[in-house]
Amino acid sequence: MTETRPSRLSAEVDFERDGKQTGFIRLFHSVHSSAYGFIPIPIVVIRNGEGPTALLTAGNHGDEYEGQIAIGNLVRSLEPAQIHGRVILLPMANFPAALAGRRTSPIDDLNLNRAFPGNPDGSVTQQIAYYISTALIPLADIVFDVHSGGSSLLYLPSVSMKASPDKAFEQRALAALQSLGAPLAYLPRGGQGTGADDTLGGEAVRQGIPALGSELGGAGTVTPAGLRIAERALRNLLVHMGILPETARIAADGPMRVTYVGGADYFVYASENGVWEPCVELGDMVRKGQLAARIHTPETPWAAPAEVHFARDGMVLVKRVPGRTLRGDCLFHLSTDALG
Ligand code: CA
């Protein structure tokens, strides 16, 4: 970041002090119902001497809950004497969105994970992004932003990482990813062609810090399996970083399957408005040209449903949840065991 303008937010915790400190980041927001008030974004810092720093975040999307629970469990169970270095825990990064159980903030309708690096004088979500970019990420040696599919998507529980053209940097991130003990990983390669990476992880990579992520389920709810993967991943990352001792590692159930998500041909979008009928299940291996979904128009039941097809071979990694769909909605995307 070349930006030097100060953030308007301030933390009640001192990141340089040893011990476990809990408190709030204060985002002053003077509104009709609360003149002079602040939005209290919970934050915890656990520090024991010099050493590496892990920044663990969740609630970036407020309708994704595994990370909010797992980071809370870690806040209550992790003690300074157990660690070497520092853990910064931010379980409800977009606090207004998390409190509302929504992907986007009810205050400004913004998606925090499309707001980085943020703006110190912008709207509430832009101010949060700027604070994370300028006050938290620079303290970190690794960032893990815990996600799931949210209200509209359901993923096979998986972990991921941000790509980088710097191969040595990417190897460091991959080693951290491999340490998490998750059953499935996917590496983004190509994306959706939306330009600059304005996510939290993208900002970390711009600052030279490896950024891990996850998609632990979704559908606006929590599963025991997704939560278990989150808990294990957070602990194992701290072991990998040398913050927790090797004895704290939680064994994986098996090897991690590493897959790739490439460009536009990995994605299937609704071609019409209507009620969509998925023709495959999560985890299915599909072939190019295979029927992915039918989109029905029950208001004209005599009209044939539209059909959409997969544009390539792959494994179904994610599906849309709501039954109604609009043209342009993502219905599925695939991952593959190898690129090509
Ligand atoms: Ca998400």
pLDDT digits (tens, 9 = 90+) for 217-262: 999 999 999 999 999 999 999 999 999 999 999 999 999 999 999 9
Question: Residue ranges of the domains in the chain?
Answer: 10-261, 264-335
Least confident interval from 49-53, 69-73, 192-196, 334-338: 192-196
Termini Cα distance of the chain = 35
Query: What is the Å distance from ligand 1's center to 245 Cα?
Result: 30
Q: Of 45, 75, 54, which Cα lies nearest the Cα of 231?
A: 75
Query: What is the Å distance from ligand 1's center to 62 Cα?
Result: 9
Query: What is the Å distance from ligand 1's center to 148 Cα?
Result: 5
CB atoms under 10 Å from CB of 224, counted, come to 7
Query: What is the Å distance from ligand 1's center to 152 Cα?
Result: 10
pLDDT the model gives residue 195: 67
Query: What is the Å distance from ligand 1's center to 61 Cα?
Result: 5
At residue 13, the 3 state secondary structure works out as: coil
Mean pLDDT for the stretch of residues 259-267: 94
Query: What is the Å distance from ligand 1's center to 143 Cα?
Result: 15
Query: What is the Å distance from ligand 1's center to 111 Cα?
Result: 10
Identify any residues that bridge with 293 across adjacent strands, giving them in sequence order: 278, 308
Percent of all residues in the chain with a pLDDT value above 70, rounded to a whole number:
97
pLDDT the model gives residue 247: 97
Where residue 270 falls (left for φ over 0; alpha for ψ -120 to 50; beta otherwise) is: beta
Q: Hey, what amino acid is at 163?
A: A
Cα distance between residue 223 and residue 154, in whole Å: 11
The CATH fold assigned to 10-261 is: Aminopeptidase (3.40.630)
Give the pLDDT band (50/70/90) at residue 54. very high
Query: What is the Å distance from ligand 1's center to 318 Cα?
Result: 12
Quick check: 3 pLDDT over 60? no
Quick check: 191 pLDDT over 70? no
Query: What is the Å distance from ligand 1's center to 197 Cα?
Result: 14
Mean pLDDT for the stretch of residues 146-160: 96
pLDDT the model gives residue 31: 92
Query: What is the Å distance from ligand 1's center to 146 Cα?
Result: 8
Mean pLDDT for the stretch of residues 190-215: 87
Quick check: 198 pLDDT over 60? yes
Quick check: 48 pLDDT over 80? yes
Mean pLDDT for the stretch of residues 174-198: 86
pLDDT the model gives residue 194: 57
Query: What is the Å distance from ligand 1's center to 190 Cα?
Result: 18
- Which residues are CB-contacts of 33 (< 8 A; sequence separation ≥ 6)? none
Question: Rounded mean pLDDT of the chain?
Answer: 95
Please report the beta strands in the chain, taking only residues with DSSP state E, as ranges in sequence order. Answer: 10-11, 19-28, 38-48, 53-57, 85-90, 142-145, 153-155, 158-161, 184-188, 211-215, 257-261, 267-269, 274-278, 285-286, 291-296, 306-309, 314-320, 324-325, 330-335
Quick check: 340 pLDDT over 70? no
Q: Please answer whether residues 230 and 73 qualify as being in contact, where contact means their C-beta atoms are separated by less than 8 angstroms.
A: no
- Which residues are CB-contacts of 304 (< 8 A; sequence separation ≥ 6)? none
CB atoms under 10 Å from CB of 321, counted, come to 15
Query: What is the Å distance from ligand 1's center to 249 Cα?
Result: 26
Query: What is the Å distance from ligand 1's center to 16 Cα?
Result: 30
Query: What is the Å distance from ligand 1's center to 287 Cα?
Result: 27
Give the pLDDT band (50/70/90) at residue 2. low
For the segment 79-124, what is each residue's pLDDT rounded down to a tens digit? 999 999 999 999 999 999 999 999 999 999 999 999 999 999 999 9
Query: What is the Å distance from ligand 1's center to 214 Cα?
Result: 8
pLDDT the model gives residue 193: 52
Q: Which residues of 164-181 are buried (b: 16+ CB within 10 A; e: fewer)?
A: beeeebbebbbebbbbbb
pLDDT the model gives residue 188: 87
Quick check: 310 pLDDT over 80? yes
Give the pLDDT band (50/70/90) at residue 69. very high
Query: 264-335, which class in CATH?
Result: mainly beta
Query: What is the Å distance from ligand 1's center to 97 Cα?
Result: 12
